[in-house]
Amino acid sequence: MIFDSHVHYDDEAFDGDREEVFQKIQAEGVGMVVDIGADIESTKMAVELSEKYDFIYAAAGVHPSEIASLTEEDMEWLKQVSQKEKVVAIGEIGLDYHYDNIDKELQKKWFKRQLGLARETGLPVCIHSRDAAQDTLDIMQAANSSEIGGVIHCFSYGWDIAKIYLDMGFYLGIGGVLTFKNSKKLKEVAQKTPLERIVLETDAPYLAPEPYRGKRNVSHYLSYVVDELAAIKGVGREGIMQATWDNAMSLYRIKGQA
């Protein structure tokens, strides 16, 4: 069974066939997914999906690109919703410097605030970091994030940064990018990272693996990532699926399911 540790099935890309997608991914061997909040509205829907479907869990948080209108009232709401049984993380939170027209200081403010929220709630974090390696690391180290725990989603930096996060006790989220021909850096990270610190993720509907690159991503496409990771690690497919399942269960502190 495959555990997809990071999806956005709340996304409008699934509005036309969400139920069919859920049936398909389960039929193709996906046993569990975590739907990750990107703003207040998507967090609400992630929680609703988790309450409707046994195989879906949720994370509550606001993506760095969506923080412009955040308020302390929103933080209080996130804190309350995080008490729900199937909300298993604060995320996705972090920094994204990819675009020019951003307010870095505002992103840092709400990143720090949501790290504090994770500490208050006792939940792990799902970290988004794009083109912001040093600032992300500095903030997480200042917040003693090794005490919080979590995953670096869609890990995109080199081994030097990966090793620091691994030493802090974090998991690395690896998905479709691993199958890209130009993903030499990520392949090196995957090879050097202990298997017990890797979780599989799609980021559906984004970042579909080869041969579906550029198309809508869905959880059962992780089969291609399993194949690539198995080749890199010299481990059978079943070994990859079992290890990453166990890792995701541990990451999200989910009990009582095989």
Which H or E run contains 257? none
pLDDT band at 258 (very low <50, low <70, confident <90, very high): very low
Which H or E run contains 44? helix 40-52
Helix axes 184-192, 222-233, angle to 10 degrees: 60
Comparing CA positions, the residue from 223, 245, 240 lying closest to residue 179 is: 223
And the tokens for 195? 């298997």
Give the mean model confidence (pLDDT) for residues 8-27: 98
pLDDT, tens digit (0-9, with 9 covering 90-100), for 20-29: 999 999 999 9
**Cα–Cα distance, 11 to 45 (Å, whole number):** 9
Domain 5-252 grouped into CATH 3.40.50.2300: no
Give the mean model confidence (pLDDT) for residues 216-225: 98
pLDDT, tens digit (0-9, with 9 covering 90-100), for 235-247: 999 999 999 999 9
**Cα–Cα distance, 129 to 195 (Å, whole number):** 22
Question: Model pTM greater than 0.75?
Answer: yes
Comparing CA positions, the residue from 165, 175, 111 lying closest to residue 143 is: 111
Comparing CA positions, the residue from 48, 39, 115, 119 lying closest to residue 87 is: 48
Contact 92, 59 (CB under 8 A): yes
**Cα–Cα distance, 185 to 195 (Å, whole number):** 17
Domain-wise residue ranges, the chain: 5-252
pLDDT, tens digit (0-9, with 9 covering 90-100), for 169-202: 999 999 999 999 999 999 999 999 999 999 999 9
